[in-house]
Amino acid sequence: MSDQSGAPAGAGALPPGNSFVAGEAAENFVQIVDVVKKFGETVAVKGVNLNVEKGELFALLGSSGCGKSTLLRMLAGLETVTSGRILIDGEDLAQMPPYRRPVNMMFQSYALFPHMTVESNIAFGLKQEGVPKAELRDRVQTVLELVQMGRFAKRKPHQLSGGQQQRVALARSLVKRPKLLLLDEPMSALDKQIRQRTQIELVNILDTVGVTCIMVTHDQEEAMTMAGRLAVMSEGEIVQLGTPHEVYEYPNSRFSAEFIGSTNLFDGNVVEDEPDHVFIETPDLPCRMYVNHGITGPLGMPVTISVRPERIALTRKPPEGAYNWGRGVITNIAYMGGYSLYHVKLDGGKTVIANVSSLAISEIETPTWGDEIYVRWSASAGVVLTS
Ligand SMILES: Nc1ncnc2c1ncn2[C@@H]1O[C@H](COP(=O)(O)OP(=O)(O)OP(=O)(O)O)[C@@H](O)[C@H]1O
Ligand SMILES: [Mg+2]
């Protein structure tokens, strides 16, 4: 059906999500080759291959226990690999003594020294390296300004908000001028509002510095907002790799489709397969589904169609087309401000969720609980999943 990026065949000029083959391009700053990590019986990382380019902000995304932190810790040299290789700037990490590794990791809890001022916290690593005093002062000053914490230089961590502590931790990582910055759940201590603001600030800071960055998160919105590319991980493996747009619009599996955003999944069988479209029959709908991209597989093959809630429209009148619609009753409405989530229980018993903008709602006579309604979507809305 598709390559690992999940982009369907015939999707046109999409940049390939997984064209980075180990050892291929000189620009691959980080190369992770067949990396496996076992802890006794547990295989935390199962043969991961991944390349990250210089200057990229890359996110590892996945649910708890899928091996994100383990992979990051191996990149930091805090865990050894069971097998496989990690190259940074062409050099094997295993051959590099710790002090020469151009890597800095910011941990899930920032681990600032509570008795030291902001300034001393940031200067700590440089002092240990024996950086001369004048240079040390300059470098600390520069990163303090970068993270806009100059005014707080003399404060102790407990006198700062969560977001401010996070910026100090970031400054402490950046002051060492790592070539590779590793962030493990950098926002986990922040509440939602500061989180969103901090995400954008952080991207701007990393852009300014130009450092290559790999971050771990289990928050898909965070990964989508911040990263240029991301990898969805499950049980120690990379399930999908691509830009946020590619992974969201062309998930390559049920796991990816459900993990990134929410979606409606219809199970069915292929009844007609043309080069640029397929017809699928599903017990959930009174009509066939028409999806305008090709698949590879025999007729009758069981598939799942993913249709995102924002691709589903509600209408009062029966849709005119012969495909991609259903009839049902509104069983729930979640008002979200700018949009509402409508739960529509179809005649066949399946509930679909439609995300309808407030503007679109005002254009159909505002639907309410118990109303009979039609759902429909276009041929480009569905994505065929075979796994
Ligand atoms: N030092 C260790 N000894 C034994 N098992 C470990 C060790 N570190 C991690 N594991 C196991 O490896 C697996 C992956 O753990 P890891 O910390 O990488 O997950 P994660 O994706 O970062 O999860 P979370 O989102 O909860 O932080 C888990 O099953 C975990 O229990
Ligand atoms: Mg973790």
Please state the atom number of ligand 1 nearest to the C-alpha of residue 73.
18
> Residue 320 carries which DSSP code?
S
Query: How many angstroms separate the alpha carbon of residue 123 from the centre of ligand 2?
Result: 27
For the segment 62-86, the average pLDDT, to the nearest whole number, is 94
Q: What percent of the chain has pLDDT over 90?
A: 65
Query: How many angstroms separate the alpha carbon of residue 185 from the centre of ligand 2?
Result: 7
The bridge status of strand 229-234 relative to strand 57-62 is parallel
What is the Cβ-side half-sphere exposure of residue 92, based on CA atoms within 13 angstroms?
9
| Ligand 1: lining residues by beta carbon, under 6 Å | 39, 42, 44, 62, 64-70, 218
Task: Report CA Rg, the chain.
Answer: 25
> Residue 7's pLDDT is what?
43
Please state the atom number of ligand 1 nearest to the C-alpha of residue 40.
4
Lowest-pLDDT choice from 91-95, 233-237, 239-243: 91-95
pLDDT surpasses 50 at 6: no
In sequence order, the 6+-apart residues with CB closer than 8 A to the CB of 235 are: 46, 66, 67
pTM of the model as a whole: 0.85
Kindly report, residue by residue over 332-374, the tens digit of the pLDDT. Answer: 999 998 999 999 999 999 999 999 998 887 777 778 899 999 9
CB 210 within 8 A of CB 202: no
For the segment 77-100, the average pLDDT, to the nearest whole number, is 91
The b-or-e profile of 289-318 (16+ CB within 10 A means b, else e) is bbbbbbbeeeeebebbbbbbbbbbbbeeee
CB 348 within 8 A of CB 284: yes
Residue of the nearest CA to atom 25 in ligand 1? 64
Taking the domains of the chain in order of start, what are their residue ranges? 30-102+178-254, 265-385
The CATH classification number of 30-102+178-254 equals: 3.40.50.300
Residue of the nearest CA to atom 12 in ligand 1? 44
Query: How many angstroms separate the alpha carbon of residue 79 from the centre of ligand 1?
Result: 12
For the segment 61-74, the average pLDDT, to the nearest whole number, is 93
For the segment 84-89, the average pLDDT, to the nearest whole number, is 95
Other CB atoms within 10 Å distance of the CB of residue 246: 23
CB 246 within 8 A of CB 2: no
Kindly report, residue by residue over 7-23, the tens digit of the pLDDT. Answer: 443 333 333 333 334 44
Pairwise pLDDT comparison (45 vs 129), residue with the higher score: 45
Please state the atom number of ligand 1 nearest to the C-alpha of residue 216.
22
For the segment 151-166, the average pLDDT, to the nearest whole number, is 91
- Round the average pLDDT of the chain to a whole number and report it: 88
> Residue 175's pLDDT is what?
92
Ligand at shortest distance from the CA of 66: 1
Query: How many angstroms separate the alpha carbon of residue 28 from the centre of ligand 1?
Result: 27
How is 11-23 classified by DSSP, letter by letter? --SPPPTT---TT
> Residue 50's pLDDT is what?
97
Residue of the nearest CA to atom 13 in ligand 1? 44
Residue of the nearest CA to atom 14 in ligand 1? 67
Pairwise pLDDT comparison (228 vs 100), residue with the higher score: 228
Please state the atom number of ligand 1 nearest to the C-alpha of residue 63.
25
> Residue 339's pLDDT is what?
93
Please state the atom number of ligand 1 nearest to the C-alpha of residue 108.
27
Query: How many angstroms separate the alpha carbon of residue 69 from the centre of ligand 1?
Result: 7
Q: Can you state the percent helix, strand and coil of the chain, rounding each to 5?
A: 25, 35, 40
Query: How many angstroms separate the alpha carbon of residue 227 from the centre of ligand 1?
Result: 23
Query: How many angstroms separate the alpha carbon of residue 77 from the centre of ligand 1?
Result: 16
User: What distance in Å separates the CA atoms of residue 98 and residue 94, rounded to the nearest whole number?
Assistant: 9
- Fold designation for 265-385: OB fold (Dihydrolipoamide Acetyltransferase, E2P) (2.40.50)
> Residue 332's pLDDT is what?
96
Residue of the nearest CA to atom 27 in ligand 1? 64
> Residue 109's pLDDT is what?
65
In sequence order, the 6+-apart residues with CB closer than 8 A to the CB of 58 are: 52, 213, 214, 215, 227, 228, 229, 230, 231
Kindly report, residue by residue over 162-206, the tens digit of the pLDDT. Answer: 888 988 998 999 998 899 999 998 887 777 878 888 888 889 889
What amino acid occupies position 253?
Answer: S
Residue of the nearest CA to atom 2 in ligand 1? 39
Q: What percent of the chain has pLDDT over 70?
A: 92
Query: How many angstroms separate the alpha carbon of residue 64 from the centre of ligand 1?
Result: 8
pLDDT surpasses 50 at 1: no
Could you check whether 30-102+178-254 and 265-385 share the same CATH topology?
no
pLDDT surpasses 90 at 96: no
Q: Tokens at residue 111, please?
A: 């681990």
Ligand at shortest distance from the CA of 61: 1
Q: Which of 49, 3, 6 is nearest to 28 (CA)?
A: 49
Confidence band for 4, pLDDT divided at 50, 70 and 90: very low
Residue of the nearest CA to atom 24 in ligand 1? 64
Confidence band for 36, pLDDT divided at 50, 70 and 90: very high
